Every structure is written in C-alpha cells, then in structure tokens.
Structure 1
Amino acid sequence: MPDIVVRRHSVHGMPVDQYASALRERLPDSEVAVARTPNAERDLVADATVVTGSAIDEALLDRADALRLFASTYAGYDHLPLDALRERGVALTTASGVHGPNVAEYVLGAWLSLARGFLRARRQQRERVWQAFQATDFAESRVCVVGLGAIGEAIVARLDGFGVETVAVRHSPEKGAAADEVYGYDEIHEAMADARYVALACPLTDETRGLVDESLLRTMHPETVLVNVARGPVVDTDALVDALRRNYVGGAVLDVTDPEPLPADHPLWDFENVLLTPHNAGHTPEYYERLADIVAENVRRAEENGAWDGLRNQVDL
C-alpha cells in the first residue's frame, strides 16, 4: 500500500500526475499513488501515512487509520474539518509560500495596468479608436499591503526599486516588516487614508471578514486602486459596487469575489475600471514543484524527529 496518496483534484487545471512525479523525485523511498476515483481514494487512504490534496472530509478521514499528515494543496484552510483532524491526531500543513512570487507579480501587474491606463487602452484598441489619454505615475505613491504572510511579504519585497512609500497592515504590528510603516488592523483607516494602491493578501478570519466595508471605502482616496488576492468575503461586495458607482475609489482588480463565481448579471462585470480574473492569480507552472518541496521536507523532518510536529507550514490545531 502507498505511503503517500495524492487526491485526484487538480490545481489550476494541471494534472496531478505532475505532482505525484515531483514527490517521487524527492522521496524515492516512498511509494506515491494517485487516487483517480472515489473508490480508489477510499481504498488507498486506509494505510497511507500522508494524504495530499485540496480537501478532505470526515468520511475519508474515518477510513484513514494510519494517517499522520494531511498536506493541503491550498494556502487557506478555513474549508477543512479542523476539529476532526485534531481529534484524530492528524497534522495539517498548507501550501503557504507556493503562491508568493506569482501572486506578487499579479498584484504589481494589476497596479501598473490601472496606473498606466491599460484597461482603457485595450477598450480603445477593440473599438479601433486612436485617442490619447492621461495616465498616472506609480512612483512616489503610497502603497498599502494588508496581510504579511508569504504573499504579502513577497509583494512588499517586489516594491523595491519602484520608489514608493510602503505601509503594511498585520495582526501583530510589533513584529515589524520591510515596509516603511506597519499598522495593526485597528489602525487600518490610518494606513489607507492616503494610499493610492492597496492590496488585500490577508487570510479570511472573523477579524477580516467584511474588513473593506463602506466606512473603509469612504476613507480611501478617490484614486485608490484596490486589488484583492485574499478571499472574496474580505470585501463587502455591495459596498464596493456603491463606492465604484460614486467614484469613491479609482478602480479594483479582483481575483476573488463574493459571491464566487459572480453571477452573469452582477454589476461588477460592467465597470470599465474593474478587472476580474477567475481566482487564478496563484497559478504558476512551478506550483507542484514548490508544493512537493514542502511535503518532501516535512516527510523527512518527521522521519528524523520521529514525530509529525514542527513541520513547515503546519497549522496549530
């Protein structure tokens, strides 16, 4: 029976066989199997030490008597049965850090696209309109990053060289950051008051749900470009629509929405200063390679230490 079972759910449309191959390269002494059907999953997990995939439910956990680690292929874990994992003594790790470089590039590209008017340029190109228009400098702007996990830190790091003022919002501001200023969530209005570019890269928690509400949108500068690569519910969608209609903000780039996906008749589709992408900012052809590095490192740590604890990206259950 296999030591590691890879669930059949692909990430960003990439076949899970690539993931399994990457794990086999890094762990040649472990047997890695891909569970291609629900029945195969139920059979294979019975003796597996590690199961990896986007999710796992309690029914599958009930069959996984030897399971010691569920290695999520996502950075977020709010969708997982945390209580059930804890009760069964199963460690949980995430894909945190896998998305850092590519999501940071997405955010920088989004900010620059709106600063330089690329959305308008694309529309004029479709309409065969040759008409000059004004753009905005990104340099010397105040840029705010909310959330300083692996993605937030990667965004801040890539701002070097752009000549901007960087501010960050994090749960524990006393930890500091590479940003010029660091605020707590209770000071988020102060952090965003003069920011022209804002990125949301925080986890979805009770504290961050609805964080960007009508009040915070009113605090933002009318030219602020808001980018959300966190979770849709971090933003109050109705409040954002109202702010866009009233020109309280300059524009938005949303890789995540609430609801998700957006209904075809949702008003966000129709704003010229809004760019929507289908929750794929995290895609990179290196996804499985980076993910396999994390899982392989944790398997080796557990073998050396004799315990599934102190793992990279381990969630405290």
Structure 2
Amino acid sequence: MTEHDGDDSGREPTGTDSTNVLVLRRGTHGVPVERYVEAIRDRLPDHTVELARTPAEERDAIRTSRYVTGMTFEDDLLEAAENLEVFACAYAGTDHLPMDALSDRGVTVTNASGVHGPNMGEHVLGSILHFTRRFHVAARRQRRREWRHYKAHELQGSTVTIVGLGAIGTAVADRLEPFGVETVGVRYSPEKGGPTDDVVGFDRDSFHGALARTDYLVLACPLTETTRGLVDSAALTTLSPESVIVNVARGPVVDTDALLTALRSGQIRGASLDVTDPEPLPEDHPLWNLGNVQITPHNAGHTPKYYDRLADIVAANVRRVDEKGPAAALENQVVP
C-alpha cells in the first residue's frame, strides 16, 4: 500500500488549512493497522492520511504532525512531536499514555470509548452464560466421551454487579435486560444514576453491600488509584461462594494472589479473565490449570468493525478541528 497523497480520490482538498492525519505503525487485535488507515481515508477523502512504517519514519513525520492517532505513544515520539495538537488514542483506556507530559504540552487526547460496546458486551454475556450453564464442564465430558449429567444454573433471578458504567458497562447492562436479572452499577458519581436497577459508589460500605448480593461481578472499569486492587481478599470474602467474576477491565483491578486462593478453596465459583496480572500470563502460572477459570488473551475487544468505529470518531473530530481549530471540543476528549 502506497502512502496516500490526498489527490487520488479525484477530489481537491477543501483548503490549505485541512488537518492531515498521521497514523502510528502499531496495530491491535491481530488486525493490520493498514485497515485503520484505509478506514480513515474512506471517511476523509480530502485529507492526507499518512502511515509511518518504521520507527525512523514515525519520528520524522511526527515533527510536523498536528493530528496523530495510534495505540501507544512512546517517549521518543513525544520528544519529537513539536507541533502536536491532538492525539487520538485507539484504545478506550489511556492509563498507558504519558498523560501528564501530553497535558503539559497542551495536547488534546481523545480515546476509543464506545468502540468496544457491542463486542465486549457480547463477550461478557457469553462469559456469564458459560458459567451459568457450565459449558466448561460439558466440554471436559465431551473430550472424555462421557455421557453423564451435571448441575447447571439459571441466569434469571440473579444479581449482576457491573463496576464501571461507561460505554462497555452500559452495553453489558443493555444486553442483560432480557434475561430477567437484577443489575447493580458501581461508579464514582452514583448520584448520576445509570442503566442499572441500582447504582452505588466506590466507598467501602456501599461496594461491599453490593458484593454481598452479587452472583456475577463484571469488571469494566478503567485502572485508577481507586480501582487498582479493588477486588482484594476482603472483597472476595464478601462475595458469595456461588459468585463468578468476569474481568474485561485491567488485570490489576483484581489481586491475583487473593483470586487464586479464592478459586482454589471454593470461596467463589469461578472467574472469566480476559485480562490478567501479570499480562501476558506466563506459561507456568497456576491460573492456566484451574478448572473453574476461563482465560481469553485480552481478546474481548476484538471485532472486525473495530477500526471502522474508531475511524468514525477520528474523522468527525478532524472535521471539528478543521472548522473550529485546535481548541474545538472533541468527541471522547479525555479530561486530564
């Protein structure tokens, strides 16, 4: 794929002030970043959308780039980004970015919030149903060609607590609605309400009160000082022995050692982990061998429509910058 020079679409640029876009070279979810470039070009045919293919090309291109998008932002790129105005992070979470340094330079940061709603909502629902109907037990017996009944559960009438009521948490709540469950949301500002039947805050009493009535605990929150180690030994003690944890947030939201103890001792029924701490999970880690653990390799966010949804956000924000300048209020803007 050759670099796009803005004139092969047969249309002239709208003006010399149109914002060009630099796409950094790292892709995600095993999908080539070229797909992302193509999606942005389709939506911005009158702009130059450049893909830097080597580290040297990235450093050179970013010196004059005002609008950059990518998965990560390394220190050497930040040093070279002399004219950067907007960085469009291609992940929903921004805890891996040098946010303080970007803020000090006056760089506006946006994220991919909303991109993951449908796919991650479906992943969570599938994980819950996996443990509800105990498909992991069926798979083991199928491998043994063993026709023997086993105990299963019903989702109807259960209580599902969702930590984090952003786009992903909301998508989970929406998809649970037809199943006849009670939902509890946990968020920083419970007075704002949310898509769940009940909403509580992160204060210890409220959180543990929610845990005490939880059958399925869904973690869909960013990693912050508040959420790091949120599910610790005390939280696991409060949970019912029949409860299941589904983590699509970040690995460190859960205390791994405490989780191992709880899973081994029957303190909780099981865990579906799309993220782990450490990550990637080492080959010799004991979590791999527990029969009541489902592990996916940070795959909940994978969808063939990932880059299309992300490109919609980026293109709309580029047009806002064209119209109103770098001070424009942008979709998914991250407040420092």
* Interval of TM-score (by shorter of Structure 1 and Structure 2): over 0.9
Distance 1:271 1:62 in 2: 45
Structure 2 segments unaligned to the other structure (5+ residues)? 6-18
> What is aligned with 1:240?
259
Match of 2:82 in 1: 65
| Map of 1:290 onto structure 2 | 309
The amino acid that maps onto 2:27 is S
Describe the superposition over 1:166-201 as per-residue Cα deviations: whole angstroms up to 9, x where unpaired. 111111000001211111011111111121111000
Matches within 5 A, 1:274-289: 274-289=293-308
Q: Does 1:201 align with 2:253?
A: no
Q: In the aligned structure 2, how far is the partner of 1:107 from the partner of 1:238?
A: 23
> What secondary structure sits across from 2:207 in the alignment?
helix
Q: TM-score, normalised by structure 1?
A: 0.97
Match for residue 75 of structure 1 among 88, 92, 115 = 92
Q: Structure 1 residues 108-117 or 122-131, which shifts more?
A: 122-131
Q: Per-residue deviation at 1:61? A: 2.1
**Equivalent position of 1:270 in the other structure:** 289
Q: Work out the CA distance in 1 between the residues paired with 2:161 and 2:149.
A: 30
Q: State the partner residue of 2:13.
A: none
In structure 2, how many angstroms separate the alpha carbons of the residues matched to 1:76 and 1:4? 21
1:136 pairs, out of 135, 153, 171, with: 153
1:269, 1:306 → 2: CA distance?
Answer: 50
| Alignment check: 8 A CA contact 1:48 1:66 kept | yes
Tell me the amino acid that sits aligned with residue 142 of structure 1. Answer: T
The residue number in structure 1 matching 2:10 is: none
User: Which residue does the alignment assign to 1:8?
Assistant: 25
Distance 1:60 1:265 in 2: 35
SS at match of 2:242: coil
What does residue 249 of structure 2 align with? 230
**Match of 2:75, as an amino acid?**
E
2:272 alignment partner in structure 1: 253
Alignment-derived partner of residue 11 in structure 2: none
Report the equivalent of 1:52.
69
Distance 1:262 1:42 in 2: 32
Q: Which amino acid aligns with 2:317?
A: N
Matched residue type, 1:44: A
| SS, match of residue 217 in structure 1 | helix
SS at 1:12 equivalent: coil
| 1:160-239 correspondence to structure 2 within 5 Å | 160-186=177-203, 187-239=206-258
Which of 17, 34, 37 aligns to 1:20? It is: 37
The corresponding residue for 2:162 is: 145
Q: Corresponding residue for 2:47?
A: 30
Secondary structure of the residue aligned to 2:156 is: coil
Q: Give the secondary structure class of the aligned counterpart of 1:8.
A: coil
CA contact (8 A) 1:58 1:84 kept: no
Confirm or deny: 8 A CA contact 1:69 1:308 kept in the other structure.
no
How far apart are 1:57 and its partner, in Å? 2.3
Distance 1:223 1:99 in 2: 29
Q: What SS does the corresponding residue of 2:183 show, helix, strand or coil?
A: strand
- What is the distance in 2 between the residues matched to 1:243 and 1:91? 42
Deviation at 1:69, TM superposition (A): 0.7
Distance 2:191 2:154 in 1: 32
Distance 1:245 1:46 in 2: 53
| Paired residues, number | 317
2:136 match: secondary structure: helix
Counterpart Cα distance in 1 of 2:116 and 2:174? 14
1:263 shift after superposition: 1.6
Q: CA offset at residue 82 of structure 1? A: 1.2
Once the two structures are aligned, what percentage of the paired residues are identical? 57
Q: Deviations over 1:194-226 (max 9, x none)?
A: 211110001100011000000110110111011
Residue 161 of structure 1 aligns to a residue in which SS? helix
Q: AA paired with 1:23?
A: I
Match of 2:137 in 1: 120
Deviation (angstroms), 1:84? 1.6
Shift of 1:63: 1.9
What are the Cα deviations for residues 59-103 of structure 1, in whole angstroms up to 9, with x where unaligned?
212222221111111111111111221122111111111111101
In the alignment, the residues of structure 1 paired with residue 286 and residue 160 of structure 2 have an alpha-carbon distance, to the nearest angstrom, of 27
CA contact (8 A) 2:113 2:332 kept: yes
